[in-house]
């Protein structure tokens, strides 16, 4: 279990460099299974999900070399009969990308059910529907927690997604890359990491058009032979630092970002009274005046990301008036509000909407991380409190998604210490 001890109250000042995107790399590492040759991947963050995925590929015969943020993976010799099921793999969501990738490469995949943060039901029916439309049979062993998919030969098809799903869009794209003929995904997700995975596959030799729009066309069956690709900067990590500055004040240049990916976050911060200046590949965030109440509604890209909802709601605990935050992607993503109440925040949740009555100050206390982004929100809350706050992280959540969080916040003037006890992370 990780414990974060935060001595808050300081403004943040200086520069912070954003790492490669967690949700891109979490799909791109499994995607290397489709490639017969060396994939050189740059800007890879050192986070727990990456380590788990690398360990899995190595266990089944991939050759992996890692130096700093550069990863070289060669899955030419990977075991076609691999059963992708380890204790660690069961903790993470991105394990499901091994389904699409193995199915695309070998027309056969046996993978454990995905884990990940608990926001209520997180079905994968759209992934399965997509695989079936490509000609696969999918068996779900609920009690054993195993998914098996197989086909004589995958064939391209037209797949309409009933829900806009990042995971299903990417997973079907992976399987379709190995299918014969044309696949068209309609009502596809448009998140930056969907585009990143398509760009990676195209760099390796695939033919994918339309990623970033709601219709993606994949001409499958081409040989993927390898290449070099750099992961995009993490939109949510960048947004987390931007919101932290909004919450405590100060002036920070957030470097290595794509400002376009951050537009919805920048827009909401501006409405709340935070100054945002966009540069080519950085954003300068500052706040000297008071915070204003705002309304926020999470939506698929280009709307406001659900993965920034806990952080911005936390900032709004100090905004004058009543802010309204509506979650429209997940059913239960407000569990962390009980933790904020322990610090003196005034929030109430009704269905999928949270009403936040801004207070003049929060006080210290002990709070839990309910999940990865809620954990980041608790760190921001700790920074907002003059004096000591402890964040108890029940599942090493924060280290799953934020590279060098302590060091990065520390370089901006924050005082955060992590106390780790090995072997007690529950996921
Ligand atoms: N959904 C279905 N059926 C499906 C798939 C999704 O009903 O087959 C629903 C979900 O229940 C949810 C909505 O569709 O209500 C969107 O889910 P999506 O599939 O887009 O989410 P995901 O692929 O499971 C990824 C990220 C999440 C992020 C969401 C939304 C990864 C590994 N995870 O999850 O990231 O919240 O997209 O952008 O890429 C995080 O980074 O903290 C995180 C949770």
**pLDDT value at 395 more than 80:** no
Measured in Å, residue 166 CA sits from the centre of ligand 1 at: 6
What confidence tens digit (pLDDT) does each residue in 225-274 have? 999 999 999 999 999 999 999 999 999 999 999 999 999 999 999 999 99
Give just the sign of the alpha carbon dihedral 97, 162, 198, 265: negative
pLDDT number for residue 427: 40
What confidence tens digit (pLDDT) does each residue in 165-209 have? 999 999 999 999 999 999 999 999 999 999 999 999 999 999 999
Is the minimum distance from the CB of 286 to ligand 1 under 6 angstroms? Answer: no
Average pLDDT over all residues of the chain: 95
Structure tokens at 165: 């799903």
**pLDDT value at 394 more than 80:** no
Structure tokens at 264: 């919805």
Beta bridge partners of 415: 7
Atom of ligand 1 nearest to the CA of 117: 44
Name the residue at shortest CA distance from atom 14 of ligand 1.
Answer: 165
pLDDT number for residue 144: 87
Q: Which of 117, 317, 370, 396 is catalytic?
A: 117
Structure tokens at 155: 């064939």
**pLDDT value at 421 more than 70:** no
What confidence tens digit (pLDDT) does each residue in 283-316 have? 999 999 999 999 999 999 999 999 999 999 999 9
Q: Give yes or no: 370 in active site.
A: no
Q: Given the structure tokens 């991105």, which residue do they identify?
A: 94
Cβ neighbour number for residue 247 with a 10 Å cutoff: 27
Residue among 122, 168, 237 to mutate when testing ligand 1 (max atoms within 8 A of CB): 122
Instruction: With 0.85 as the threshold, say if the pTM is over it.
Output: yes
Structure tokens at 69: 């943020």
The DSSP bridge pattern shows strands 353-357 and 322-326 to be: antiparallel
165-177 burial, b at 16+ Cβ within 10 Å, e below that, comes to: bbbbbbbbbbbbb
Is the minimum distance from the CB of 333 to ligand 1 under 6 angstroms? Answer: no
Compute CA 411 distance to the chain's CA centroid, rounded to the nearest angstrom.
Answer: 24
Structure tokens at 424: 């007690």
- Could you give the percent of the chain with pLDDT greater than 70? 98
Cβ neighbour number for residue 305 with a 10 Å cutoff: 23
Over residues 351-368, the mean pLDDT reads 96
What confidence tens digit (pLDDT) does each residue in 60-99 have? 999 999 999 999 999 999 999 999 999 999 989 999 999 9
């Amino acid at each position: 279990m990780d414990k974060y001890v935060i001595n808050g109250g300081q403004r943040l000042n200086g520069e912070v460099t954003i790492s490669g995107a967690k949700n891109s790399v979490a799909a791109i590492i499994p995607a290397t299974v489709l490639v017969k040759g060396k994939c050189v991947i740059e800007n890879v963050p050192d986070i727990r999900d990456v380590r788990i995925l690398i360990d899995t590929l190595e266990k089944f015969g991939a050759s992996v070399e890692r130096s700093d943020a550069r990863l070289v993976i060669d899955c030419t010799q990977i075991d076609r009969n691999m059963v992708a099921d380890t204790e660690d793999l069961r903790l993470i969501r991105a394990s499901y990308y091994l389904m699409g990738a193995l199915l695309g490469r070998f027309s056969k995949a046996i993978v454990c059910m995905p884990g990940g943060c608990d926001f209520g039901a997180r079905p994968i029916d759209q992934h399965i529907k997509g695989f079936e439309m490509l000609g696969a049979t999918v068996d779900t062993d609920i009690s054993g927690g195993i998914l098996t998919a197989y086909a004589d030969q995958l064939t391209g098809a037209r797949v309409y997604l009933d829900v806009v799903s990042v995971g299903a869009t990417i997973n079907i794209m992976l399987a379709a890359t190995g299918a014969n003929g044309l696949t068209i995904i309609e009502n596809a997700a448009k998140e930056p990491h969907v585009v990143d995975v398509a760009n990676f596959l195209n760099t390796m030799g695939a033919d994918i058009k339309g990623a970033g729009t709601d219709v993606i066309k994949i001409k499958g069956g081409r040989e993927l032979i390898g290449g070099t690709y750099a992961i995009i900067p993490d939109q949510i990590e960048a947004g987390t630092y931007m919101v932290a500055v909004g919450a405590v004040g100060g002036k920070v240049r957030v470097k290595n970002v794509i400002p376009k990916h951050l537009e919805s976050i920048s827009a909401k911060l501006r409405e709340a009274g935070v100054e945002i200046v966009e540069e080519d590949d950085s954003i300068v965030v500052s706040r000297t005046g008071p915070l204003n109440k705002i309304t926020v509604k999470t939506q698929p890209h280009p709307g406001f990301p659900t993965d920034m909802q806990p952080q911005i709601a936390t900032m709004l605990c100090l905004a004058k008036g009543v802010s309204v935050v509506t979650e429209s992607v997940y059913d239960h993503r407000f569990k962390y509000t009980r933790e904020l109440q322990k610090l003196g925040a005034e929030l109430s949740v009704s269905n999928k909407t949270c009403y936040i009555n801004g207070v003049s100050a929060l006080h210290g206390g002990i709070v839990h991380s309910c999940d990865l982004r809620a954990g980041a929100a608790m760190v921001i809350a700790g920074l907002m409190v003059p004096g000591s706050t402890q964040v108890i992280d029940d599942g090493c959540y924060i280290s799953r998604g934020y590279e060098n969080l302590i060091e990065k916040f520390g370089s901006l003037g924050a005082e955060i210490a992590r106390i780790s006890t090995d072997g007690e992370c529950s996921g």
